[in-house]
Structure 1
Amino acid sequence: MSEHRIEVVVNGHRRQATVEGRRTLADFLRIDLGCTGVHIGCEHGVCGACTVIVDGLAVRACLMLAVQADGGEIKTVEGVAAADGTLHPVQQALRDEHGLQCGFCTPGVVMTLVALTKGPETPSGEVLEAAMSGHICRCTGYQGIRRAIRRLAAGEQA
């Protein structure tokens, strides 16, 4: 097996590691770095639970190898809230609208919405809802998620 030295910035902290070439980014983040908010569901890129932001784009960490992230900047759900604990507007909207039940899908949903709403203009509710088609909520928390999305699209704060 081949091993590779990689360096990434995860949630603002520079990290170096030696990883096997076949190690997924999801396993690297969860097991090696302790970012347990990266949930592994289907391991096929279908459920969206492992979604993280790599260099500004939402990606499925189960489909990306850790070596592919070398030199990149990664944000996981652990790095979304402010240092003082203030929730990101996406997290606050999901909380206020009860857009979660068991919480398994929540980190992936948060990361997708954070990636899409980071620009100067928030996309429409239709665009945000379409992006959620790549996430599976096993508890059927979809109505709360949809209310949170409409709230984000309207620019409402808590």
Structure 2
Amino acid sequence: MMMENLLAEVSRVHFPNAPATPAQVAAFEARVGWQLDPDLRAFYLHCDGATLFRPRPDANYRILSLAEIRRARVELRGQDDDSKGPPSWYTLLYLQDSDYVLVDVAQQQDGRYPLLDAYHETYPLEVRRIAVSFGEFLQRALRSGNEFFWLNE
């Protein structure tokens, strides 16, 4: 139920993209080689990306569309090499100035992937968990007043 309420708020107050189709979700999963968890699947079937609080290009929080999600080490360092970060970290949100929130698809808690803060200047050496799931992240982001909630912790 929590995701339903959060998704309704995204549609009501923020700037969602059109939903992804089940075929687009399946094509994404085939491309990346991992399955969306329940929170991410619900989000992408509701909207294939979104900006929170402000429209593009001025949004602090831009949840990437399925087509924009990439392996973090490729997006942030330009190489698909283990020295540039684990292969299980993928970009999920763009936060301006080349900073990202990542999803770690090698870890799960209650069937959901954790989210990580990835500051471009210290990636991959300093990456920290900021939410245990996309649902938790979205809830905290929507209550943040357009601030990066984890920076004050």
TM-score by length of 2: 0.31
Structure with bigger RCO (C-alpha 8 Å, 6+ apart): 1
Larger radius of gyration: 1
